[in-house]
Structure 1
Amino acid sequence: MKILKDGKILILLISLVVSILLITFKGVSPGIDLSGGSVIVLKSEKPMNDEELTLTIDILGKRLNANGLSDVRIYPRGNDEIIVEIPKSADLERIEKILSKQGVFVAKIDNITAYTGKDVKSVEPPQQIPQGNDWAYGVPFELTLEGAKNFAKVAEGKAYHRVELYMDGKLISNPTLAEGLADGKPHPKQVITVGPYPPSKEEEDEAMAIYAALKSGSLPVKVNIEYVSSISPTLGKEFVKGALIAGLLAFIAVGVVVGIRYKKPKIILPILFTCASEILLILGFASLINWKIDLASIAGIIAAVGTGVDDQIVITDEALGGEKRLKKSIRRAFFIIFAAAGTTIAAMVPLFVMGVGMLKGFAITTIAGVLIGVFITRPAFARIIGYII
């Protein structure tokens, strides 16, 4: 068929195939409001500048990654709040403990600083550690050469004195200095014990929080947990069900309105096909960039498809009203479409750039939908209408 050899229609069909493959094999990740999870709101003790905000988000991300959590979203809200979204599978109690630590680490002997967190070269995950004739549970770490030398200087001749280890000003361990560590020689290998082995759940969480803080470094500003809200997987499924029903009803409503307006299946079906294509292309794009689809993103998809229907009606009316000068009519329609797309994108860009919470999801799906429509689906639809008329 001649219509299938048209370049713009081929681009649409190829894009659809790619999107379907991406959705099928890579999948589309749902946000926590659809899959279930928790939102933790962190409040800083003072407003942060851009550098502090970026560094804090980076450090928090490293801490969560150190605990095997890569499927998280961390983003700022204003200059004194940070939002952390974690999946339903995460240990919420442990995550709260990890996020609430600033991570300022200091070791003292007789109230003299022996080393700090800046002297820590590497950290090992919490593990079973020999302690005399028994076993303990703790976090092994290694000091830099400079840190080990300073420790040797402070510890020399102070065997059996207490080594007080502080995290954020709180004493977390105070082991007795072994005689072999008080000989004035550098001993880079150190350990923080949190309790006997096997550890309790609280001791495991504390050890993981210490490990994450030492591995990532201290936050530039102290943050506290302002509040935590959780969405159960059951509620998330209800949201998905509601979104699918709303989408289906919207699709049917569009079909009814367009059917009343044009009364010709050869015009109605291409409009509905283009609407469905735009949804698939947006979902394929989301899969490609690993963007999580949440309720705000779904709203953006609906908004983009809604503008798409408007544009298709403009194209159709122009084509029907100017059959003798079809190309000129369609060019006039695309002038209107590009102007509308420009204003929509201009309105969405600030929301995307500023990253204001869930509104970023709304902005990115709306922008993606508008661009996909302008460069892929609208040109293809115009060609289809041209062949029909």
Structure 2
Amino acid sequence: MKQERIKDLFSDWRVLVLIVLLVLSVIAIYPHFDSNGNLTTNLQYGLDFQQGSWIQLEFKAEVVGFTTTEPVDTFVANLSKSLDTDVVQVDANHLEIRKSYTQAELQPYFAAEDGTVVSYQPGISATTADLVKQILVDKINSMGTKDAKVNTITGLNGVTQYVRVEMAGVDMNQAQQIVGKQGKFEIRIQTTGNQTEHVLYGDSITSVAVPSQSPAGSGNWGVGFTLSSDGAATFQNAAITYGATTDPADHKLTMLLDNQSVYSAPLSQALAGSLQSEPTTQLFASTGSGTSGEQQATNLEIQLRAGALPVDVDIAGSGSTSASLGQHYMEMCLIAGILALIMVAFVIFYRYREPRIVLPMVLINASEIV
């Protein structure tokens, strides 16, 4: 009789579904022993239950309200040149200035261009904040960091002054290496002598390839990268304006990360010729041949991927959870969970006084935890 009941139980489709889900859950959790013989799983516990760190970054930029008697496009272009930074029009009455200035410092610059500062708010626009968030997410993911969270902190006025990054399983030193650095990437073109002019920031780079040998068949190593359509047009215009297409040798292309040169070379004759007639989105930065060229290409790839933030940042706050404290929290949660399960079983047994009812209900509770 018992065998028949057990057979009927396991022939019920709901029981079969429960068993299948439990098996799939255990496979997903994947309990196994690591190389050191310690039991581990695929579970990601979050910042509170394992070693981890958080960093809050402050944007060194501001959104200002303005008025001007000049055409807005002309006003923005002139202001960008005088402030030596990108100035982006947010809407009809506001500009985003991607460099740290106080309101008092901005007033004379605006006045010189027939404009006035009407309002001032440290931070960046919502559009730029979304871009920075995506860049940081891509950067963290490319480094293989698991269970990372990136959240922008935006005020009621729509201006974002901070972004908070949480990374479980990462100590503070590593966290600062990943996101705490400024990581501002810039491309400039040599004009006269050692003088250079700004061309693009890293936000115009949409993708970066792994190091490879030149597609032209020269055997030189390098890194291919892709520009956005707007970035490609800007790059072509700058190359023509500053003479890099007609005299590449005297107008080198320079790449800087945090204002430090990481690459400098003239345009290839083929690229200089093609830029005379049309923009190109596909570029290849050659780093030389042999082992040295390959290593330089690897370093350049990291720098290209790391330097995409369109604005400077400072670390405004940070904190961490030690591995021992996270382990303590996890043990306390495990004990609390077991005690809760026992209490549920006790209440059910006190109410029904029937093991045939209590046992299945407790097993269902346990299966839900799994």
TM-score by length of 1: 0.50
Q: 2:54 aligns with which of 26, 40, 65?
A: 40
Question: Paired residue for 1:265?
Answer: 353
Q: Distance in 2 between matches of 1:171 and 1:146?
A: 25
Q: Which amino acid aligns with 2:283?
A: K
Q: Distance in 2 between matches of 1:112 and 1:265?
A: 83
Within-5 A mapping of 1:337-352: none
CA 246–207 in structure 1, closer or farther in 2 if over 3 Å, else same: same
Q: Distance in 2 between matches of 1:226 and 1:196?
A: 39
Root mean square deviation of aligned Cα: 5.0
Q: Distance in 2 between matches of 1:128 and 1:97?
A: 28
SS at match of 2:337: helix
Greater helix proportion: 1
Structure 1 residues 167-187: Cα deviation after superposition (integer angstroms, max 9, x where no partner): 45x133352537848966538
Equivalent residues of 2:57, 2:180 under 8 A apart: no
**Structure 1: runs of 5 or more not aligned:** 284-389
Question: Paired residue for 2:285?
Answer: 191
Question: Paired residue for 2:237?
Answer: 150
Q: 2:210 aligns with which of 125, 130, 137?
A: 125
Equivalent residues of 2:205, 2:226 under 8 A apart: yes
Question: Paired residue for 1:82?
Answer: 164
Within-5 A mapping of 1:96-135: 96-98=177-179, 100-101=181-182, 103-110=184-191, 111-117=196-202, 120=205, 122-126=207-211
- Give, in angstroms, the shift of residue 151 of structure 1: 5.0
Q: Distance in 1 between matches of 2:300 and 2:129?
A: 25
Q: Distance in 1 between matches of 2:14 and 2:326?
A: 33
Within-5 A mapping of 1:346-365: none
CA 165–198 in structure 1, closer or farther in 2 if over 3 Å, else same: closer
Equivalent residues of 2:49, 2:327 under 8 A apart: yes
The answer as to 2:350 corresponding to 1:274 is no
Equivalent residues of 2:147, 2:168 under 8 A apart: yes
SS at match of 1:159: helix
The answer as to 2:149 corresponding to 1:60 is no
The answer as to 2:9 corresponding to 1:20 is no
Q: Distance in 2 between matches of 1:49 and 1:223?
A: 17
Q: Distance in 2 between matches of 1:238 and 1:197?
A: 49
Q: Which amino acid aligns with 2:197?
A: I
- Give, in angstroms, the shift of residue 277 of structure 1: 1.7
Q: Distance in 2 between matches of 1:99 and 1:113?
A: 24
TM-score by length of 2: 0.52
Q: Using CA pairs under 8 Å that are at least 6 residues apart, name the structure with larger relative contact order, 1 or 2.
A: 1
CA 43–251 in structure 1, closer or farther in 2 if over 3 Å, else same: same
Q: Distance in 2 between matches of 1:206 and 1:280?
A: 50
- Give, in angstroms, the shift of residue 107 of structure 1: 1.7
Q: Distance in 2 between matches of 1:114 and 1:50?
A: 24
- Give, in angstroms, the shift of residue 276 of structure 1: 4.3
CA 207–42 in structure 1, closer or farther in 2 if over 3 Å, else same: farther
Greater strand proportion: 2
Question: Paired residue for 1:175?
Answer: 264
SS at match of 2:174: helix
- Give, in angstroms, the shift of residue 62 of structure 1: 1.8
- Give, in angstroms, the shift of residue 20 of structure 1: 0.8
Q: Distance in 1 between matches of 2:199 and 2:309?
A: 18
Q: Which amino acid aligns with 1:227?
A: S
Q: Distance in 1 between matches of 2:124 and 2:360?
A: 49
Q: Distance in 2 between matches of 1:219 and 1:183?
A: 27
Q: Distance in 1 between matches of 2:248 and 2:144?
A: 39
What is the aligned-residue identity percentage? 16
Q: Distance in 1 between matches of 2:316 and 2:210?
A: 25
- Give, in angstroms, the shift of residue 157 of structure 1: 2.4
Q: Which amino acid aligns with 1:24?
A: V
SS at match of 1:244: helix
Equivalent residues of 1:119, 1:146 under 8 A apart: no
SS at match of 1:125: coil
Question: Paired residue for 2:225?
Answer: 141
Structure 1 residues 186-209: Cα deviation after superposition (integer angstroms, max 9, x where no partner): 386342869956759xx9777524
- Give, in angstroms, the shift of residue 239 of structure 1: 4.2
